[in-house]
Amino acid sequence: MQTTLWFRPITEEAITNLYCRTLPRSLAIADLGCSSGPNTLFVVSELIKVVDKLRKKLGHDSLEYQVFLNDLPGNDFNTIFKSLASFQKQMSCQLGPGAGPCLFSGTPGSFYGRLFPSNSLHFVHSSYSLQWLSQVPEGLDNNKGNIYMASTSPPSVLRAYYEQFQKDFSVFLKCRAEELMVGGGMVLTFLGRRSEDPSSKECCYIWELLAMALNDMVSEGLIEEDKMDSFNIPQYTPSPSEVKSEVLKGGYFSIDRLEVSAVKWNDYDSEFNPSIAFSDDGYSVANCMRAVAEPLLVNQFGDAIIDEVFRRYRKIIADHISKEKTQFINVTISMKKSGHFII
Ligand SMILES: C[S@@+](CC[C@H](N)C(=O)[O-])C[C@H]1O[C@@H](n2cnc3c(N)ncnc32)[C@H](O)[C@@H]1O
C-alpha cells in the first residue's frame, strides 16, 4: 500500500488556509507517527513547499520552518537524522534562494500523551497511525479464533474495541488542543471504514485472513491454542461518523472537512484486473501486512513460526484478491483549533 506518496488535496488546502489566517513568521509543524522509511519526510516537504510558494506569491518574507517528527521511542530516529543533511540540501535547492531554514527535531513518545509545549504548534499532521490504539482493549476473553473484530466476534468485543478508541482519541484531541495555537490546523488520516458496522469486511477481513493462517497452524499443532486465544490486534478502524462524534464531543476543534477514500490492497494503479493481481501472488499485500504485524506476532508466538505464517497468509490473500476487488478505506479529517478553547 502506498501511503504518504500521495499528498492529499485536503492537506494542501488545510496548510494553505492555516498560512493565510495566521501569517506566521516561523511555522511549527508536527508529523505524528512519522515512522522511518523512504517516505518519512515526504508530507513535511510538501507542506513546506506549499507554504513557501504561497508566501512568495503574496510577497511575504521567508519563514523559518520548524519540523517535529514524532513516533514511539523504538522508532529508528537515527536513520531519519542521518538523512537530514541531504534532505535539507535538496529542500534548499527546491525552495530556491532566500528561503528560510528547515529545522528538524525528533520527539519520541506516544501521541496519547503530551508531546509539545502549550500553544507551540501551528500544524499537526498524522497519517496511518491513529488507528493504532494505546493498548489491546480489556474484555476480549471471548474473541476465540479471532485476532481482531470479526464477523464472528460477540457484541462485547466490538464494544470493548470501540470504547478503547473513544478513550484514546479523546485523550489525543485534548493533548493536541493544548499544544496547537488558536487557529492552528490538524489533518489526520486513519485506516478506517465506510460502514457503521465495526466488524465489516472492508476493515476486518485482512485480519480475518491472517487469523485463518494462524488457526490452520493451531490445528496442526504448530501454534499453542491458548496463545492464539489471547492474541488480539490493538487497532481500531473508525467510520467517519465515529471520528466526527469524538471531535464534536471534545469541543476543541471545528471540522473543515471529513472525507473517505480508498486504496487497493495491491499497489497497482490500473483498474482491478484479476490476472495481474493473481500474478503478484499476494506478495505485496502480505509484505505490507508483515511490516505492520510481525513485531506483534513475534511478541506473542516467538520468531520461529513467522516465515511459515506469512507463507500461508500470502497464499490465502492471493486466493482472495484473485476473486474479489479489495480496498483499504481511509478516513481523513481536517480541523482547526477553536478560538473559544482556553487552556
Ligand atoms: C503505518 S506507520 C505510518 C507511517 C507514516 N505516517 C505513513 O503515513 O506512511 C504507523 C506509525 O505509527 C506509529 N505509532 C503507533 N502508535 C503510536 C503512538 N501511540 N504514538 C506515536 N506513534 C505511534 C508506529 O510506530 C508507526 O511508525
Q: Where are the domains of the chain?
A: 9-139+160-196+233-264+327-337
Q: Quick one: pLDDT at residue 267?
A: 52
Residues with Cβ within 6 A of ligand 1? Answer: 3-4, 32-35, 39, 70-72, 75, 110-112, 127-129, 132, 134
Pairing of strands 26-32, 121-127: parallel
Kindly indicate the confidence band of residue 224, based on its pLDDT and cuts at 50, 70 and 90.
Answer: very high
Instruction: Round to whole Å and give the CA distance between 57 and 23.
Output: 13
Between the CA of 222 and the centroid of ligand 1 the distance, in Å, is: 31
* Residue 231 CB neighbour total at 10 angstroms: 21
Instruction: Round to whole Å and give the CA distance between 165 and 171.
Output: 10
Kindly indicate the confidence band of residue 268, based on its pLDDT and cuts at 50, 70 and 90.
Answer: very low
Q: What is the mean pLDDT of the chain?
A: 91
Q: Which residues have C-beta within 8 Å of that of residue 246, sequence separation ≥ 6?
A: 166, 169, 170, 173
Between the CA of 296 and the centroid of ligand 1 the distance, in Å, is: 14
Task: Give, to the nearest 10 degrees, the angle between helix 283-301 and helix 306-321.
Answer: 140
* Joined grid coordinates for residue 301: 508466538
CATH 3.30.420.40 matches 9-139+160-196+233-264+327-337: no
Q: Supply the pTM of this predicted model.
A: 0.92
Between the CA of 70 and the centroid of ligand 1 the distance, in Å, is: 8
**Percentage of the chain exceeding pLDDT 90:** 80
> Which mutation among 11, 72, 171 tests ligand 1's pocket best, with the greatest number of atoms within 8 A of CB?
72
Between the CA of 261 and the centroid of ligand 1 the distance, in Å, is: 19
- Assess whether pLDDT exceeds 70 at residue 46: yes
Any idea what DSSP says for residue 271?
A: S
